[in-house]
Amino acid sequence: MLFGQPQFLPLLALASLPLLIHLLARRQRKIVKFSMTRFLQEVAQQTQGRKWLRELLLLLLRTGSIFFALLTLLRPYAPVPLPLPPAPTSIAIVLDNSLSMQGKEQNDRIWFERALKWCEQAMENLPAEIALLAADNASEPICDFTEDLQQRLKAIKGVRPTFKALDLTPALQTADNLLARLPSAVKKVVVVTDLQSEPFRSLNFPSLKNPVLVVDVKSSEGIGNVRLNAKLQLPLDPNTDGSIICQLENLSAQKMNGTIVALASGKPFTRTKISLQPQTQVDITLPLPSWVLESSDEKGLVQVEVRWHSELDILSWDDFLRFAFKSPKQIRAINAVREGRQFVDAALRATNISPVATANFQNADVVITSPPTNPKMAQSLAEWVRQGRVALIVSDSFVSPFWSMVGVSTKRVEQGEKLRVQWVDEINPILKGLGASLQAVRAQPSLSFQEGQRNLKTLASLSDGTPFLVEFTFGLGRCFILTTSLNPQRTTLIYSPAFVPLLYRLVRFATHGQELSAIEAESKPKATPKNSTVVPKSESDFRLPTRKEVEGKLSRIGGAIVSTKLSPNSLLSETKLRDLTNLSLLLALFCLLTETALTLLWWRRIR
């Protein structure tokens, strides 16, 4: 026998009250001597047996009325063959809606859709109170315990798949706590999952008070999945090819064969077949032709997509990456240089970039400017850089509020003779191959920098050690500072063969950098200029414990595992336990009424 409210079990001791009262009420008989007692003794002997039976029957009825009344409070359930209502059943369903549940086996439904279908069947057919919890909202149920079918179905239709890597442990604990507050005879936690999330991955299950039934949405254990990651190496020189470095990782126990395809604006331009052994990684480099960099859309963006295709791959969301960057011919470059503006304009036009003369930086891809002397303009430029943009500052003036706004300490350089560029950092991709040409340049710097500033990096210096070209970071962006003006009287840089390629590389680097890579995000993969995302790697990993291992671990904690192919009715059929609450109440009333009736009857006879 089970009790729905076992906390009231100690109250059963109150059923002994009638017996205690009976024992305490008995008095010691006094013997009184009286003559001629023969006839009285005969009458007493005739009535003594019937009186004892009457007292015993009344005592049993009083004890029974209290006992069955208390039993009603305990809500007893027992497997008795009587036409009584079934014992109440409560089920807490935890639905896994992590990213991996969007997997799909060959010629089959998506796992999340299969999970929803199974949950709908359970809610429509099971004679139980059902609560529904989604793994991404583990703190409270989407639908609390109810027998209202419409409310159940509405709740299940409101659950959406996510792109998150989720741990089901908090949802399991919440479901267990919800069941603990109910007086139901049968309680069960049901988890509908693909066994990819915790705690099934590590088999480190939390301690639960109620049994767990795991419903595996996978049709078989032989599944394969390959995760694609890639980065674009973009050229900084015109008419130069780039490359796509792809990383394919087989995160399953199956051998995978497939094809990797690169597309520009939806049209494939390269394709390669790949074979991956179980749990291995392959790196491959694909060409990125220069014509792809010019295939822009109406917004001037080039869309490059890399995609992996295999019929055996179960998760499609980790099979592609997209990148977006500005086409070189569509770059919006603002030229706000005070001295030598015409030289900058000529250099940009020579590389098919049309310069824009405006003080509005907000819509610019790159800004080439002198240090602003206007505080408002300086603030606007500093904020623009801080948001992740790149600017080239041509120092034709020492005085500017911009330097203090970006946290750079400068110092004035006294005018003297022009100094030759002595050192060039050719490891930097912007300066690679330009060292010899730049070392022939002479310049008279307008400013220098205080020592000890960690965010400054010298890329080229003059013969006396004064920086010639400096890079510094501010917020999410950065600036390149040319410490001299472009006045022909101050520098020969404008006549150098390195001037045009240097300016072009700076513009290209400022627009999209040299390398584009993707970062993990718990959202749908997307691509914006300088920002590409890919789904979490943990959701791509299907190197999981076998179903037999999961089943063995569950059996130790009173759980079980089944497949969605089995109907919910066959798994959670109506319990054989019957609810004895109403029967106990009827028996308590019967004992009370019978005891009352017999007491009145015998009392009248005595009178």
Q: Looking at residue 536, what DSSP letter applies?
A: -
Question: Which CATH architecture describes the domain 331-497?
Answer: 3-Layer(aba) Sandwich (3.40)
Residues of the chain with pLDDT under 50: 574
pLDDT at 575: 56
Note the pLDDT tens digit of each residue in 328-356.
888 889 999 999 999 999 999 999 888 88
Total Cβ atoms within 10 A of residue 337:
23
Note the pLDDT tens digit of each residue in 353-374.
888 877 677 788 899 999 999 9
**Intrachain domains 89-220+566-574 and 331-497 with the same fold:** yes
pLDDT at 440: 94
pLDDT at 90: 87
pLDDT at 105: 86
At residue 199, the 3 state secondary structure works out as coil
* Interatomic CA distance for residues 233 and 594, integer angstroms: 95
Total Cβ atoms within 10 A of residue 42:
9
* Start-to-end C-alpha separation, the chain: 46
Name residue, tokens 């203090």.
404
Total Cβ atoms within 10 A of residue 16:
12
Cβ atoms of 519 and 525 within 8 Å: the answer is no
CATH class, domain 226-327+515-540, is mainly beta
Total Cβ atoms within 10 A of residue 290:
15
Q: What is the CATH number of domain 89-220+566-574?
A: 3.40.50.410
DSSP string over 44-79: HHHHHHHHHHHHHHHHHHHHHHHHHHHHHHH-EEE-
- Domain-by-domain residue ranges, the chain? 2-27+37-84+580-606, 89-220+566-574, 226-327+515-540, 331-497
> pTM surpassing 0.85?
no
pLDDT at 46: 52
Token duo for residue 94: 């935890």
pLDDT at 481: 94
509: closest CA among 288, 293, 235?
Answer: 235
* Interatomic CA distance for residues 32 and 25, integer angstroms: 21
DSSP string over 85-118: PBPPEEEEEEE--SGGGG-B-TTS-BHHHHHHHH
